Amino acid sequence: MIMPVETDIRTKIIDAARKLVARYGYGKTTMADLAEACGMSPGNLYRYFPGKLDIAEQLAQQAFDEELTALREVVRKQDLSATEKLKVFFCTQLHVTHDKLNEDSKIFEIAEIIKRERPELSNENLKRLRALLTEILASGNASGEFNIPDVVSAAEMIQCATMKYHYPQLFTKLPLNELERELRGVIGLILQGISAGETSRTNAKAVARG
């Protein structure tokens, strides 16, 4: 079977799929619908993608890439301290996710399916986010803001601690501002620690003020 890695027909299919999915949802868009939108027969789609799930995977990956790009911008910002970067990083993530949930909630149907059917991909993406997080931590070490012996492990733990704000299924009930309040609190907690001492006392006061 011939399966070109990248071709304008493939992107045409993906673009059509995005529109259809946005309107009707993944479950309701059939391969026949998609083929018709592309001006071809259903069977011909299989010359460009192994199956429907692989089309969904492309859509999910593109959506995630957008998120990743937004977060990379935060990490690269020159005029932010590492502390500020960390806050902005997670708040951006929350907002991007939340916006996508409202604007086209259909993409989450896909996200859930991919998380279930292609878990490796989700884990891969989590790893990429963690890499950005690690960058922030390392830059904080370099600037003297942080003193983290193992930034890789620290990044993993921060990701665990903020997992609640990364999976929409977990927070659908709470309003965005409440979520953000919690998230800021958690980040604050991480930034300050709770152990007694000169530095953490200072940060603790800052967090207590809001």
Partner DNA sequence: ACCCTGAACAATCAATAAATTATTTATTTA
Partner DNA sequence: TAAATAAATAATTTATTGATTGTTCAGGGT
Q: Which spans of this chain sit near DNA (rule: CB under 7 A)?
A: 2, 9, 27, 29-32, 35, 39-44, 46-47, 50-53
* DSSP code, position 164: G
Contact 98, 57 (CB under 8 A): no
Query: Which partner in DNA, a copy of itself, none is near 25 (CB below 5 to 8 A by kind)?
Result: none
Q: Output 116 or 209, the one with its CB closest to DNA.
A: 116
CB of residue 32 to DNA, shortest distance in Å: 5
Output the six-digit token pair for 34. Answer: 């998609």
Among 41, 77, 157, 175, binds a copy of itself (CB under 8 A): 157
CB burial of 23-55 (b: ≥16 within 10 Å; e: otherwise) equals eeebeebebeebbebbebeeeebeebbeebeeb
Output the six-digit token pair for 201. Answer: 């006392």
Q: Which amino acid type is present at position 20?
A: L
Q: Output 63 or 187, the one with its CB closest to a copy of itself.
A: 187
CB of residue 24 to a copy of itself, shortest distance in Å: 28
Q: Scanning the structure block, which residue is given the tokens 């940060």?
A: 203
CB of residue 113 to a copy of itself, shortest distance in Å: 16
Among 144, 172, 176, 177, binds a copy of itself (CB under 8 A): 144
Among 5, 43, 160, 172, binds a copy of itself (CB under 8 A): 160
Output the six-digit token pair for 85. Answer: 């970067």
What number of other Cβ atoms are within 10 A of residue 56's Cβ?
Answer: 22
Query: Which partner in DNA, a copy of itself, none is near 40 (CB below 5 to 8 A by kind)?
Result: DNA
Query: Which partner in a copy of itself, DNA, none is near 44 (CB below 5 to 8 A by kind)?
Result: DNA
CB of residue 13 to DNA, shortest distance in Å: 11
Contact 34, 45 (CB under 8 A): yes
User: How many angstroms separate the CA atoms of 210 and 201, rounded?
Assistant: 15
Among 156, 168, 176, 180, binds a copy of itself (CB under 8 A): 156
